[in-house]
Structure 1
Amino acid sequence: RGDLIKRIISCGYEVIVTGPNRVDVEKIEALGARFVEIPMNKNGVNPKEDLKYQKALYELFKKEKPDVVLGYTSKPVIYGSIAAKKAGVPHKVAMITGLGYAFTAQTKKAKAIRAVMSVLYKKALNCADTVIFQNPDDREQFVSSGLVKSEKCRVVNGSGVNTNRFSVADYPDKITFFMLSRVMHSKGIREYLRACELVKEKHPEVRFMLLGACENIQDSLSKEDLAPYIEKGIIEHFGETDRVEDYYKQCSVYVLPSYREGTPRTVLEAMSMGRAIITTDA
């Protein structure tokens, strides 16, 4: 969202960015924004830690007196909206970029988290002035579930793409499929790996790429789960990078068989570079 930050600054506003750690802080400051570290475990379920995060946001808002607060991803939306309301921030905007594991998985744990998150979303979005969704299905689910009033909602077609950076490129000589995602069940990683296996059996010359981290969270495949596919030469696995466009250039087809998305930025980036897309209506 660097381009959004740059655009806001170019309009004469000061921008403060909060984050749970100092990863990539130099890049954020290079945009012209001021960074404030507020520790937060994005996948944690400890209410004491979450309330500590909300309190830190409240104290920041009271100190800085921002005109607008924009939160995206679940915890910044929930606790940021509540904290901004309490701190008297004039304009509070929440952006729902997707619903993720809690709203897609059907395990007992996921259902329990979903029930708690629904209560928290309802309270938080009642504090927000505007709620931005990245697809109409998420908006409809939140409205029909009573989590937000329809008059607060806006739908946008994703976060946008810098078409100068992600410009059309020539196709590779070898047919190549590419998936860029965290290595999670909800992103369709199992389906992608199985498809790679099936195609490789009949067409061993086809190349399959995967870029994304195995994380120590409930929905993720482990490195051990992924290892056999790498060792057998079914896929080539790459770690995280700031130069994703270099990988799009190597592929003929971009694949994202996700179970639930907003409007995935990776699909927009691949389309901007002229790649064919295989994805889900999710």
Structure 2
Amino acid sequence: MKSVLLIVVNDPAFFMSHRLPVATAAQDEGYEVHIATQSGASVADIRGRGFYHHELPLSRSGKNPFRELKSVISLWRLCWRIRPSVLHLVTIKPVLYGGIAARLAPVKGVLAAISGLGFVFMANGTKAAALRRVISILYRLALGKKNLRVVFQNPDDKKALEVIGAVTEEKSVIIRGSGVNLNDYQAYPEPVGVPVVTLAARLLRDKGVIEFVEAARYLKLQGLIANFQLVGDPDPGNPTSIDADQLEAWTREGVVQCLGYQSDMASVFRHSHIVVLPSYREGLPKVLVEAAACGRAVVTTDVPGCRDAVEPGVSGLLVPVRNVPSWRMPSDDWSMSLNCEWRWAEQAGLWQSVPSRSKVSSLSILRFIALWRATFNASQNTSDGCHGIRGHSCCTASAAGTWRSGDRRGA
């Protein structure tokens, strides 16, 4: 009988962009893979790839307590129906609600992926502080199951949840992002012509979109010749989303080009010279790993997640967060930086070193599979499937992409 893996993600499009390779690898390893998301256009793609799909009433922006309770109950019922060997929870609400549901259902093991802590842990003020207290309680409940592991993308997020008592060192492991497929993201020389500076992300204030536009405006006024472009859509469900009227105003002004959502990001990076992400906080931004794999230098902020994706002075530059003046180097310096970026990258060994470094990141897929095995095996060694995992040795893949001896148990 196959082991059952249930992956719960808010958005089916996010699953396709961030978790598809992991699910496919699990399927190849012999798991029966179920995907639970809200409805969306990408559901057909999920089913078309041979996965079982379950629609859940999940909403990233929902605040109605009765509807949120309905989401928890729906997850609880689903867990009772398919009785997963491993429940893999991705993004904030699935981690919180799925973790609580798993404590009340026959789930043998839980693997929760913390890909960032969200705007609640960045916002200031009395309301934000009160909300953080509530979220902290939910994290302690959700991550309290004994046979549970929590995957963090950076050490700062791990420390934040340790401080509030939600996780312990024994339950935690750091995997630096979801990895990239190097067949899809390859290094190319920079295009000839006017330099292109790209910010690719959901169009949120928390992603530093305002700072990016202000810096572009200033540099253009200083005479810098470059094209600044935004790639991505607003997220109306997020309180920090940029609205459509603002995007239209920037387009009319000519300060930036707004390209909207692009499905072929490798092509976007091929036609760019520098990739920028002035975010306030991240898990580990996949866009920066993709940009690095394409041989593009990045400029990003010195905050959790972003700084973990950059080797300063080698693969990119770090700047202070929410600090537009720090971007306002003299236009002559910017011009020199832009026009010489690929030559600098070659001299620094970036073209040669980035793909090999990204290959290590792509081993995160193997590490996820190892964690699922460890979680499942720990539950098999107990009578009720609720004991903790006792070590980390089963979770490490070698640099050659093979398992350590003894890691093929229970597959």
TM-score (norm 2): 0.66
The alignment partner of 1:267 has SS state of helix
* Deviation digits for residues 137-182 of structure 1 (CA, Å, limit 9, x no counterpart): 1101111221212210101111111111011122122211001111
Deviates more, 1:204-213 or 1:74-83: 204-213
Deviation at 1:32, TM superposition (A): 2.2
The aligned counterpart of 1:89 is 107
Query: Per-residue deviation at 1:108?
Result: 4.1
Kindly state the Cα deviation for residue 115 of structure 1 after the two structures are TM-superposed: 2.1
Is the counterpart of residue 3 in structure 1 residue 24 in structure 2?
no
Gaps of 5+ in 1: none
Q: Provide the alpha-carbon RMSD of the alignment.
A: 1.4
- Structure 2 gap segments, 5+ residues each: 1-18, 304-411
- Any residues of structure 2 matched to 1:126-141 within 5 Å, and which? 126-127=144-145, 129-141=148-160
Question: How far does residue 11 in structure 1 lie from its aligned partner after superposition?
Answer: 0.4
Quick check: 1:268 aligned with 2:289? yes
The one-character-per-residue Cα deviations of 1:189-242 (angstroms, maximum 9, x if unpaired) are: 111111111111123520111011123231112112222221111111012132
Cα deviation, residue 103, structure 1 = 0.8
Counterpart Cα distance in 2 of 1:177 and 1:55: 45
1:74 corresponds to which letter in structure 2? I
- Among 176, 190, 195, the residue aligned to 2:215: 195
Counterpart check, 1:165 vs 2:162: no
Counterpart of 1:272 in structure 2: which amino acid? A
1:233 equivalent in alignment to 2:254: yes
Q: How does 1:18-97 map to 2 (within 5 A)?
A: 18-97=36-115
Distance 1:203 1:27 in 2: 46
Moved more, 10-19 or 144-153: 144-153
The one-letter code matched in structure 1 to 2:53 is F
2:297 equivalent to 1:279: no
| CA positional deviation for 1:88 | 1.9
1:101 aligned partner, one-letter code: F
Aligned length: 282
**Length-normalised TM-score, structure 1:** 0.96
Tell me if 1:180 matches 2:200: yes
Between stretches 227-236 and 253-262, larger displacement belongs to: 227-236
Structure 1 residue 183: deviation in Å? 1.3
Post-superposition, which runs of at least 4 consecutive aligned residues in structure 1 deviate over 4 A?
A: none
Distance (Å, rounded) in 1 between the aligned partners of 2:61 and 2:27: 31
Say if 1:101 and 1:110, in contact at 8 Å, map to a contact too.
no
Counterpart code for 1:256: L
Task: Deviation per CA, 1:37-61: give whole Å up to 9, x if none.
Answer: 1111111122211110111111111
Tell me whether 1:120 sits opposite 2:120 in the alignment: no
Report matched runs for 1:92-103 at 5 Å: 92-103=110-121
Q: 8 Å contact 1:6–1:32 — kept in the other structure? A: no
- In 2: Cα distance, 1:64 partner to 1:141 partner: 33
Cα shift readout 1:53-87 (whole Å, capped 9, x = no counterpart): 11111111111111000001111001111112211
